A and B are shown apart, each in its own frame.
Chain A
Amino acid sequence: MADSNKTQEKDVLTDHLYDGILEYDNPTPGWWHMIFFGTIIFSVMYALVYHFSPMVPSHEQRVEAALRREMEQKFGQIAKMPDSNEKYLTIMANPDWLEAGKRIFQSKCVICHGPNGEGFVGPNLTDDKYKNVRELKDIFRVIRDGAGNGQMPAQNTLLNSGQMSVVAAYVASLRGKNLPSGKELPEEVPIDPWPTLESTGDAPAGEGGAG
């Protein structure tokens, strides 16, 4: 049984013998102790810092702060604008904001309105006929409060007003593409074309973002 080599000569056997199995009386390796105690010290310190240090905010505080920051950065200007047709025309003129609206649309709206707004279980948004919208700023209201007895769900608990504004502008921008519809609803009626920034007089304050 004894394949002799250098390390084994130092090993001392215990007097244990179980069904032919012997046990050495070797000490536990030093690095094993070091790391074990290291993890214990780390754990105590981690718990103290994580739970009792004011420098470490909780996950919840962190995510709230991130949402607030995002709101200010992305939609600060939009939030200051009064709710008017001009507001949405201004957003429609800004590709960044429109892109933000498109992203939200893709994650929340395509399920019913189709990937390009052509309609699916919800109405086609690319033609000139609308069900709950009569003028540009109505789109925001439909998104915020929902319509059709909840078939179109209210988004005000899911999105903030800046997000709803950019989605509204994006939806408005889909008009005129006239994609073949997945859905024709009898209660949809044609409405006047959107106004233009020129026709509404001076651009509102905060137009600086337009690019």
Chain B
Amino acid sequence: MSIDAAAGGTTHQARSESAESTGGSGTTQGPLEQFTYDDGIVRMFAFATVLWALVAFLVGLLIALQLAFPQLNLGLEYTSFGRLRPLHTNAAIFAFAGNAIFAAVYYSTQRLCKARMFSDTLSRLHFWGWQFIIVCAALTLPLGFTQAKEYAELEWPIDILIAIVWVGFFGVNFFGTLVRRRERHMYVALWFYIATIVTVAMLHVFNSLVIPMGLFKSYPIYAGVQDALIQWWYGHNAVAFFLTTPFLGLMYYFLPKAAERPVFSYRLSIIHFWSLVFIYIWAGPHHLHYTALASWASTLGMLFSVMLWMPSWGGMINGLLTLRGAWHKVTQDPVLKFFVVGVTFYGMSTFEGPMLSVKLVNSLSHYTDWTIAHVHAGALGWNGFMAFGMIYWLLPRLFQTQLWSKKLAEWHFWIGTIGILLYILSMYAAGITQGLMWRAFDAQGNLAFPDFVETVTKLFPFYLIRATGGGLFLLGGLLCMLNFVMTWANRPKTYEQEVHSAPPLRPVAVAADADAQTPHSRLHANTKFGHEGDKFLQGTWHRRLEGKPIKFMIWVLIAVAIGGLVEAVPMFLVRSNVPTIASVQPYTPLELAGRDIYIAEGCYNCHSQMIRPIFAEVKRYGDYSKPGEFVYDHPFQWGSRRIGPDLAREGMSNPNALWHYNHFRNPRDVNEDSVMPAYPWLLSDEIDWSKIEQRVQTMAMLGVPYGDMVEPGVAEEDARLQATAIAAEIANAGGPPIDEIREKKVIALIAYIKRLGVDLTKTPPEGATAHAE
């Protein structure tokens, strides 16, 4: 059957299948029930997938070009790199990949369960709720409303919406469908969907615990090291349970459908599913190697990543080996081409991931474009191509006509593949180049490239190649949209609603089903333990579990909770993990306001605040960062990429206020090679003095020892005094007069920058003891 197959064929299959499968499990009694599938919702999600793909790719291309040509920031605060980069990542993950997941889930779940979705209303609420969240994100992120935690930037009201839509609409709808299913056992794709829904809900809720300060601002309840641990527990497992497990589910349904081949191994799907969901959750701390995170946690992150290699490859093997006997079809069918390359990229990324998690490799790759190459191999290759393959397979079935142009789909495939290769190869080269330059020493034992900007200008050609690759990928997306719209235009006047029939599941059948499969030990002379072990290995217990969705869900929840608990509980309860430093004091009210500007502008997208205990790094930036330095950092701002230099000790190495003033006005005035955007609006916008007190009070609620500072008026007065002092410093050094600048936002930001890293070497104030517990 080719891609152009009309949907009629599937009905026939479904019918004959219901007769076959029910024969064995003793449920043939009872009248047949008639039902239809809701394909309208799949059409909606499929269109949203392609639409948001174009937005995500376009914003990605723009920010990629901004690194080569800083003028493309357009001089507007709303289009600067720090604000658009979160928009790009959120659009790619939650809008593009998210809608692709939902299209896959809504199409396949109904068919795998032989049941219409639990509620058409919930389906629509889910669709429109999710699109509303995306629009909110697209509006708030450029406006600078952010929680400054990667892939979790959206502010708390949107976070609440996400929880409602995900759990209340999607989760209830999905599990309701499982409960009403007419197929005894759940297919492996459904296991992956269950893991996705349960785990993403858990991650989202625990990473988004904040104290709001108004509608558009909040502070996380965690600080410093603990915030970092929770964030990367979330961040890594967003990759795991938003970009991996649902796409494995997608693969398990659509790949054998497109190839018309049986899945290679049922047993492999069991073992790789459970090992994957159990192990993945531990791997988060590999994003925090060589940081102030306790080394035992970072070691756990590395080792569980290494152990994750084979569980991940289990999915790849089951995908690729399912194609045995169907390889000749790959040459003719663009759908299979997308799937083969997608699964191959999955295999490549899931080998590279464990490799990058090895501490020694990570010391080179971290903070460089190598990470960017790695995530794009996953996002463009695996998620992108699996999604596009699915879309092309769905189009003729959803619109009950032929695909408008198979040739155009072929073109999309080749253009996209070349785009990915240009993208990742240039970023590997850029990452390794910059990583080696950072650690290079000359013959005299001095840093070979002491000026950071040298290591950035060197990447210019790679940035051009990367933008070309990204541009090609975007072009491929446009071809897909064209094909989508033209296929849609050829749809029939009214869609044919196929009526399926199957007997309902009868609860009594559970026991009968279980009895029918009681295993018998195949061993001869052996201990009781041996016999029990053999029965376990036969896996019939798993077959029974596949008939119990709620029990299955609970086991998944247990499997994914263990890793997080083992890593997080000691980090919060055992004080030796974050030794306090008496000289580290809370930020002043003005510095706190400046820190919020740093957060709003998304500075963390390009600057780290974490000096690793690595010789070259200590030589470049100063003493390595200590856990106790971050106890008042709600949220932590360690960053994950150094497009600009680390700022952890900026207050010590460059406290000159006038320099920073000039630098924010236009970085190229003080460093002609800089690629940092200019921030003229910080020089003209005024500090919101009325919020100063609120900030301090909210922080005090979180346990930051502000003492008398929370009394009415104290914080604002303190902030105004400090602002005047900094304005005076700038004026005296030859900058603009005090009165012109002391009310401006830039003064608060400079106050924060001047504070970075200076507490470590200060004398502790009288009577100061470790406050943070």
Contacts and interface: CB of A to CB of B under 8 A. Distances in A.
Given A3-B326, A108-B653, A58 B295 contact: yes
B456 to A, nearest CB: 15
A26 B14 contact: no
Nearest to A58: B295
A92 B262 CA distance: 78
Nearest to A101: B446
Interface stretch (B86-94, B201-209, B304-312): B304-312
Interface residues of A, number: 65
B159 interface: no
Interface in B234-273: 253, 256-257, 260-269, 271
B183 interface: yes
A82 interface: no
Contact of A107 (B14, B185, B326, B620): B620
B111 A19 contact: yes
Interface in B608-626: 612-615, 618, 620, 622-624
Nearest to B659: A121
B310 A107 contact: no
Given A58-B295, A100-B446, A158 B17 contact: no
Interface residue SS majority, chain B? helix
Contact of A24 (B262, B326, B451): B262
A128 B310 CA distance: 69
Given A18-B112, A23-B266, A67-B618, A39 B624 contact: no
B264 A46 contact: no
B707 interface: no
24 contacts: A1-B260, A7-B324, A13-B262, A18-B17, A18-B112, A24-B265, A25-B265, A26-B268, A27-B265, A32-B310, A36-B307, A36-B309, A46-B299, A59-B295, A59-B612, A63-B614, A63-B618, A67-B615, A100-B446, A104-B446, A107-B447, A110-B451, A120-B659, A153-B652
B620 A20 contact: no
B314 interface: yes
Given A25-B266, A60-B624, A96-B444, A17 B653 contact: no
A14 B446 contact: no
Nearest to B300: A47
A8 B325 contact: yes
B303 A46 contact: yes
Contact of B652 (A66, A106, A111, A157): A157
A43 interface: yes
A211 interface: no
A37 to B, nearest CB: 9
Contacts of B658: 121
B19 to A, nearest CB: 10
A42 B183 CA distance: 42
B615 A26 contact: no
B323 to A, nearest CB: 11
Interface string B138-177: 0000000000000000000000000000000000000000
B721 to A, nearest CB: 16
Interface in A79-130: 96, 99-100, 103-104, 106-108, 110-112, 120-122
B295 A121 contact: no
A177 interface: no
B260 A28 contact: no
Given A19-B17, A20-B14, A103-B450, A26 B295 contact: no
